[in-house]
Amino acid sequence: MKLGRVGAAILVAVVALAIAGCGDDAPSGGGTELTWFIFNEPSGAPQKIAERCSEQSGGRYTIKFELLPNEADQQREQLVRRLGAEDDTMDLLGMDVVWTGEFANAGWLAPVPPDVAKTVSDKVFASVLETARFKDRLYTVPIWSNTQLLWYRKDRVPNPPKTWDEMLDQAEKLGPNKGRFQIQANRYEGLVVLANQLIESAGTSFLSGPTTVKLDKEPTLEALRIIGRLSQSRVAPTNLTTSDEDSARLGFEGPAPPGESTTSFMINYPFVFPSAKTNRPKNVFPNIGVAKYPQVDADKPSAPPIGGINIGVSKFSKHPKEAFEAAQCLVKPENQLEVATLGGLPPVRSDLYDQPEIEKIYPGFADVIRESIEDAAPRPSISPAYQDLSLAIQRALHPTTKIDPAKAEQAYDELREKVEQAVKREGLL
């Protein structure tokens, strides 16, 4: 059957409308819909700034959320499964700072375009940018950072210790009823953080390259000696081998009044400050002191940990241009300050620590956070096999109570052997 000119024109129009209606997941407003896979940050800050950026895009894109589990291991597992299947519904990825090398090496991330990289790197801490690179190329966009501090009781400790040994000396002098300390020594990533910072502060590193083990013997032995002394001390927390960030927070806060906390020292992230203000406003919060992460050697600087979240753009996204545009917006200075205000999460730009808002968020210790991030030593995520490496470190060191501070050679040999095995493995799961 032949169509007349009018009928043919109508058919062409209908087909054109049908094709237009089958666009790449475009929202009804005509712009591109971007999906941001990220954990449900309790403050709601990511949603707030995403809404702001969507409005400021002038209809070019809107950001919706696919919320990941709260636990980092479960977040990674979901992302790995989807990216491994080349899921093209993923646009923006909220990534732990230690995932960059693994994801980039697997071909799952779109490299940050040079013009975007220049913008999002402006005034960002060098330590933070190191977590966003793989093989000297930027693969993720840092949005917020984090670091650990030494928290102590000013009413019991007149002068904060500079080194781990000084801290233990002061703690043991106070005794178990007042001098306990809190760290993270369970068999999980927190133990890797502890080991990495001690080893870096002692003057060496786990790796000198993606598949090359460093672990110079003498400084590593010194770091292991401190782990052993912490674990064998009479003022160690009773739950040392299962301790994490939250158990440390609870130990520092202690029981509700009239009970008294037995802890005077804690290594932890800034979230503990507002927690103490809420939970122990009278007997703990007024006595909180803050200092920089302890040194291993008084003649060598400390190496605080660095955490936080970077934004990756999936290699399989249908909308990489819009995704990178959104990433640039999300990390604007005003949005980093919004995240810090709502969630207490430290900005990645050094210049923002001069803003008055920061002093309100971190009263009296904003400069300590800035200095800690400046001097931070990232974990050895340059290895594409970081997950294997992390598990190897945990297996070698846990429980830390097995480390004899006077004879750390056996612990050193086991640690080096397991790290060597880990970096030579292939595969990402």
Note the pLDDT tens digit of each residue in 279-320: 999 999 999 999 999 999 999 999 999 999 999 999 999 999
Same domain, 284 and 319: no
Same domain for 206 and 67, yes or no, is: no
Task: Kindly give the pairing relationship between strand 307-313 and strand 140-146.
Answer: antiparallel
User: What does the pLDDT look like over 257-284, one tens digit per residue?
Assistant: 999 999 999 999 999 999 999 999 999 9
| Mean pLDDT across 30-37 | 92
Please tell me the distance from the alpha carbon of residue 194 to that of residue 185, in angstroms, as a whole number: 8
- Residue 213 in contact with residue 393, Cβ under 8 Å? no
pLDDT at position 1 over 90: no
Same domain? For 365 and 264 the reply is no
Task: Using the structure block, give the residue that is written with the tokens 């912490």.
Answer: 230
Q: Whole domain around residue 265: which residue ranges?
A: 149-305+385-424
Residue 58 lies in a domain: yes
Residue 142 pLDDT > 90 = yes
- Which candidate, 130, 40, 42, 171, places its Cα nearest to that of 94? 40
249 and 285 inside one domain: yes
Q: Which pLDDT belongs to residue 13? A: 40
135 and 180 in a single domain? The answer is no
Residue 30: per-residue pLDDT: 59
Question: What CATH number has the domain bearing residue 166?
Answer: 3.40.190.10
Average model confidence (pLDDT) across the chain: 93
* Residue 200 and residue 86 share a domain: no
Q: Evaluate whether residue 171 is within a structural domain.
A: yes
**252: in domain:** yes
**Same structural domain for residues 153 and 299?**
yes
> What integer pLDDT is reported at residue 18 of this predicted model?
41
Give the number of domains in the chain: 2
- Same domain? 264 vs 348: no
* pLDDT, position 382: 87
Tokens linked to 97: 């700072």
Q: Are 284 and 400 members of one domain?
A: yes
Cβ 371 vs Cβ 145: under 8 Å: no
pLDDT of res. 425: 74
Residue 18 lies in a domain: no
Domain shared by 260 and 405, yes or no:
yes
